[in-house]
Chain A
Amino acid sequence: MFQAVSAKLAQTLLVLLIVSAASFTFLKLAPGDPVSIMLGSDYSKASYDQLTHELGLDQPVLFQYGKWLADFVRGDWGTSYITNQDIFELAVLQALPVTLTLAAFSLLIALLIGIPTGVLAALYRNSWVDVLATTLAIGGNAFPSFYLGIILIWVFGVDLGWFPALGFVAPWEDFWEGLWYLTLPAVTLGAWYVGLIARITRSSLLEVLGQPYIAAARARGEPGWRVVWVHGMRNVLMPLVTVIGLQLGGMLRGAVMTEVVFALPGLGMMVTTAVLNREYIVVQAGIMLTGLLFVAVNLAVDQTYQFLDPRLRRR
């Protein structure tokens, strides 16, 4: 048990180190010289050298990387040139919670729609229910999310006025108001997942329902709904969690688009703004944070496996 966990941790740390190196290299390769940007248009050779020395940019690259990494771990991520805001505060305390909330809410909506759709499609396979569900699933997958977002804003935000078209209210400040603001973005981002979840649920459930232990549950007198939702779905969770975990990266990518369309102050919005402003230090923070998220999700999925499948538990 301990050995497995420590191996996993070592692997995780290695991934993080690679991400940090890549992200540091990105900063080094970025066009433009930070010293001249900071000094403005008019400066002397002496002040240029002095600032270079103060920023440690005259040190060997590896040394700079080490210092940067140490600062990063301490939470000292630097200050934005433009807003003068502390980047750790901007990224971790302001942008990250928005993105996480959006992702969680989207996933929830996708699960609430996708799982029942997949179950219905499996139970009534090859009937019109199945055809309809499969069509919707493929449609949700194929429809570009930025376009869906614009249509939703247009219809439900502007035309009908049921939901706010843009903006964000933190659900941890005002829960219902926040949910109301998040609905359209979450539907936009979740739509792609509905199809994925429905398809995986359908195919996994069909396979599980053919297993002898399902017939055995029926032979014990278990009612049909329990056979499907308890005996069957319990075994569908494994493949479902696997696929959802693998696709969470896709969700972060989709979140960038959704945040920009709906003007949500999340990570995606932060990185997009930073790219447009050529504020590479903020982009770098975004890269690091995204990398951390990926790794955290992977670890979480691994732990969930053991929870979901007794055969993988180590005693």
Chain B
Amino acid sequence: MDAAVALTPEAADQAAGQAPLLEVRDFSLRRGKAVVLDGVSLALQPGETLGLIGESGAGKSTLAMALIGLLRAPEVQLEGSLRFRGTELTSLKEAEFRRLRGNKIGLIFQDATAALNPCFTVGEQIAEPLKRHLGLSKWDRRERAAALMQSVGIPEPRLRLDAYPHELSGGMQQRVMIAIALACNPELLLADEPTSALDVTIQAQIMELILDRVRELNSSAIFVLHDLALGAQVCDRIAVMYAGQIVEEGPSERVLAAPLHPYTRGLKSCVVELGSRTLVPIPGQVPPLDAMPAGCRFAPRCPKAQAVCGERRPLPETRDGRQVACWFID
């Protein structure tokens, strides 16, 4: 690189280390008047796993849907920037975005039973992205689909290729979903609560499988989860979302060991832990989208809230190697 050229901040970042695979900057998503995502910023390095944690309605799934381009204008209004491999996604043409979907960006849905088309065999559905993005011949598609099914732990894949979704168990269906999402070796895998529709005994297996496959392909992954402890266990970093905003984001161990934001603390203490006899619920509920408080959105439920919290929104600050948005970080 020519040292005489002044570096822009982005170029400096790139020179300093790897360019992030995904960079979300001040991203907002509105559905009419409702602000579903408000000023979300985060970055994901190649090979990194990130957990998006929060209650239902926090906007986690919405963010995932926006990242894969299933929520776009004119259905919703987008502001800010989503950069994937240096490409701005918000202004990408639909035809170009389609080339990323299922190819460079894969998505695992929460409920595989509902997300698999009942009228097509699982083999056909796994083969679709192989045809669309890789242009494989019919024979190669079948071979690769069988190999993919094998790789996600489906026994006798050749027999199951011609099975319809309803002929498989819930766990097997989710494995098929994973095979579809990983068919083209995506660089970014989005997993929207991939195990919450499954039996507890299967959940760990599926989570383990996704992680194994992601590591093997050296992909990055974003897990949408509502369980802070699970997220901290499986992800390198964690972003805690509340009412469409990221309130705390940082390395998993630190966030779980010493949460700084009152909401993260609340999330941690409302999970039953071994050896702990206390179960402290967070009082109240997430405010409706059309009646968000002007200041900190968590203020009405926050045990530490002061006058300023209701008036002005706290901006994320760097503290202890992470980003926290709160007026009273101690």
Contacts and interface: CB of A to CB of B under 8 A. Distances in A.
Interface of A: 211-213, 215-224, 231, 234-235, 308-311
B164 interface: yes
Contacts of A221: 98-103, 129, 132-133
Given A219-B68, A221-B129, A221-B133, A212 B119 contact: no
B126 to A, nearest CB: 9
A211 B103 CA distance: 22
Given A220-B101, A221-B133, A212 B111 contact: yes
A308 B118 CA distance: 11
B128 A235 contact: no
Nearest to B117: A213
A211 B164 CA distance: 17
Nearest to A315: B167
Nearest 8 pairs of A and B residues by beta carbon = A220-B102, A221-B102, A221-B101, A310-B164, A212-B114, A216-B115, A213-B117, A219-B107
A309 B120 CA distance: 10
Contacts of A222: 98, 102, 128, 132
B99 A310 contact: no
14 contacts: A213-B114, A213-B118, A216-B115, A218-B70, A219-B101, A220-B101, A220-B125, A220-B128, A220-B180, A221-B99, A221-B103, A222-B98, A231-B120, A234-B120
A235 B118 contact: yes
Nearest to B107: A219
A211 B114 contact: yes
Contact of B115 (A215, A224, A309, A310): A215
B128 A219 contact: no
B100 A310 contact: no
Contacts of B166: 310-311
B242 interface: no
Interface in B98-146: 98-103, 106-107, 109, 111, 114-121, 125, 128-129, 132-133
A213 B129 contact: no
A215 B109 contact: yes
B230 to A, nearest CB: 22
**Range of interface residues on B (Cβ < 8 Å):** 20 to 34
Contacts of B128: 217, 220, 222
Nearest to B65: A215
A126 to B, nearest CB: 14
A310 B119 contact: yes
A178 B39 CA distance: 68
A304 to B, nearest CB: 14
Interface in B228-263: none
Residue from A220, A234, A308 having most chain B Cβ neighbours under 10 A: A220
A222 B107 CA distance: 13
Nearest to A238: B119
A234 B115 CA distance: 15
Nearest to A230: B120
Residue among A216, A223, A309, A310 with max Cβ neighbours from chain B (10 Å): A216
A212 B180 CA distance: 15
B161 to A, nearest CB: 14
Contacts of A216: 107, 109, 115-117, 177, 180
A212 B109 CA distance: 8
Given A219-B181, A220-B101, A234-B120, 12 more contacts: A213-B114, A213-B116, A216-B109, A216-B115, A218-B70, A220-B125, A220-B132, A220-B180, A231-B120, A235-B118, A310-B118, A311-B166
A235 B117 contact: yes
Given A212-B115, A235-B118, A218 B164 contact: no
Nearest to B101: A221
A308 B94 CA distance: 32
Contacts of B68: 219
Contact of B117 (A217, A223, A224, A308): A217
A235 B103 CA distance: 25
A238 to B, nearest CB: 9
Interface in B167-209: 177, 180-181
A43 B106 CA distance: 92
Contacts of B129: 220-221
A310 B164 CA distance: 7
Contacts of B111: 212
Contacts of A308: 119
